[in-house]
Every structure is written in C-alpha cells, then in structure tokens.
Amino acid sequence: MKKKVAIIVVFALIILAICITIITLKGRENSITPSDTDGISTNEASESYLYDTEFTLSYANWTGEAQIYFSALNNDKFAISSVQHLPIYKFDTKNDLDNFKQFFGEILSVNQSYDEVPSFDDATVEYDESFFSENSLILVYVPASSGSFRFGVREVYCDGKALCVHVEQTNNPEICTDDMAGWFITVPIEDALIQECEIFDADLNNY
C-alpha cells in the first residue's frame, strides 16, 4: 500500500513539474527582453520589434559643455547608472537639423572631418525636405577618450512607445591617440515606425 502511495506521489510531482515547465516556456515565447535600458521594459512580442538599420558615423569633436546632455531627449538618464547612456536627438524637419547645427556648431564641430570619418555637414547633406516628408533623423553623440576609437549601431529597439539605439565600439586598436574625440551617429527612421514613441534613449556597449 505504501509503495502505491509513493508511486502516485512521484507521478503527481512529475506532472506538476511538466506543467510548470510548459507555463514558463509559454511565457518566454510571448515576450521579448531587450538589453537593459533603465526604463524600456519587456513587451509582448506582437507589439515589439528589434531590427538592424543603416547609420552614418561622422566627426563631432569632444566637448566638456553640459548642454549637449541637458538638451537631449534622454536628459533624465545621466544620473548614476550601471548603463552608459548617450545623448539622443530627433529631427523631424530640415529646419530642426539646421538649428541643431547652428547651436552646437559653436560647441562641437560640424564641418570638420577626421581621417576617414566625414564631417557632420557632409554626412547629412542628403537629408532634405523630401527626406523629412516621411522620415525622421535620429542623432546620438558618442564621446571618446581617443580619436582612434570607432563606433556603430549594434541594433535599434522599438516597441512603438519607446526607442533605444544600442551603440557599440567597432574596433580595438593596439595603439591609441591621446586626443579626446566625439562622434555623431545618425540613423534615418521612417516616421510610421516611431510616430507613437514617447521615450528615446541610447546606450553604449550595453550587452
């Protein structure tokens, strides 16, 4: 009798374990967990997308002025954090882009290139009124301790309400120059993809 009871208990425990496993796996299938962005949370897979996109790297020079951070869309992200957030901007019109150049042209560099990296003016010359009729331009400022470092976009995460550009360092030079540098990364995105977005963020090497 005791053996029968023991067998029944064992079977019951096995069935319980199977049920828990099925529920856990089903929950994982229904969600996408992006990299930690201190505010962009896990979302339903049907409402989220993670995609690669084109980008352009241009020279911006380095600045110690805080205005580049204070004016950014994610200016609340630069407090103490385990994630290195980067200033992000969004231009809806050519006038927005031109105003940014005029304002930050005195703080950073918009018309100077660096080795093979073009100037910001050259990198954005194609973005005219026709482009902005259906697209927006996302800009991320990346400060660096050396002009030898290069950066790119690993991925762009957007769930319809929040967008985050994940930036990564794309090289690891053995010898680095001792100059401070800064870079602009520009990412063109269709308006239809971000028209409901209320949160914009960018981070570096967050993976």
pLDDT, one tens digit per residue, over 54-74 is: 999 999 999 989 999 999 999
> DSSP letters of 98-135?
HHHHHHHTTTS-SS--BTTBPBHHHHTTT--HHHHTTE
* Domain, as residue range, for 189: 33-204
Q: Is residue 14 part of a domain?
A: no
Joined together, the tokens standing for residue 134 give 């259906």
Q: Is residue 184 part of a domain?
A: yes
Q: List pLDDT tens digits, range 168-194.
A: 999 999 999 999 999 999 999 999 999
Give me the number of domains the chain comprises.
1
pTM, full prediction: 0.77
Q: Is residue 138 part of a domain?
A: yes
Q: What are phi and psi of 53, to 5 degrees?
A: -150, 165
Rounded to whole angstroms, the Cα distance separating 68 from 64 reads 9
Q: Is residue 24 part of a domain?
A: no
